Amino acid sequence: MTSWRMIPAGLLLLIALPLSHIFGNNILPQQTFRLKHFKLEGYKTSGELDWVLLGSEATAAGHRVVITRLQARLYLDSSGELLILSPSCEFDKIDNTGRGNDTIHVRNNSMTIDGVGFDFDLGSCRIKVRKNVRVRFFKDPVDLLGKETTPAALPESP
């Protein structure tokens, strides 16, 4: 014999399951996935590649991903490309933000930034390095991104 008290609870569960996935609520336990050779890409509204996150390993649970050996490449409109390296990072896939307490190394072809502890927002292209910050600027183009940056390959200044 079916209890009438069980039916409303069953209906509530049927409604709560899809909503928990849509809104990312922790109504039900989430599964954890461990991935090797992790890669996640973000795109601009125009369809162009905006950023790429790489890691030797990642542990994903819901919208949070813990990335080991982070290598992030940001493709900036005006100033080219930016590379972020860190031993580990916690990344939020919904907000496109990351943070970590380990060392961080940021570079492009004209500067490097090193420090300990960081927060970054891929949407606004902002990086905050918390302590022991060291910034180095280079007068001449340097091949810090692993690409050729000879004077012939650079655009002429106005």
CATH number (domain holding residue 118): 2.60.450.10
pLDDT in tens, the chain (158 residues): 554 444 444 444 445 445 444 444 444 456 888 989 999 999 988 888 999 999 999 999 988 999 999 999 998 877 688 899 999 999 999 999 999 999 999 998 788 999 999 999 998 889 999 999 999 988 776 656 655 433 333 333 33
30: which residues sit within 8 A by CB, 6+ positions away? 61, 62
Number of domains, the chain: 1
Residue 43 resides in a domain: yes
Residue 155 resides in a domain: no
Residue 44 resides in a domain: yes
Q: Environment class of residue 83 by beta-carbon count within 10 Å: exposed (0-12), middle (13-18) or buried (19+)?
A: middle
Q: Could you tell me the residue range of the domain that residue 103 belongs to?
A: 32-145
| Joined tokens for residue 139 | 């007068």
Ranges of H-type helices in the chain: 6-23
Residue 126 resides in a domain: yes
Q: For Cα atoms 74, 130, 122, give the angle at the middle one, nearest 5 degrees.
A: 20
Select from 90, 151, 79 the least CA-distant residue to 118.
90
Strand partners, 113: 106, 135
Residue 27 resides in a domain: no
Residue 22 resides in a domain: no
pLDDT at 68: 94
Residue 3 resides in a domain: no
CB 55 within 8 A of CB 34: no
pTM over 0.85: no
Task: Count each helix (H run) and each strand (E run) in the chain, helices first.
Answer: 1, 7
Residue 13 resides in a domain: no
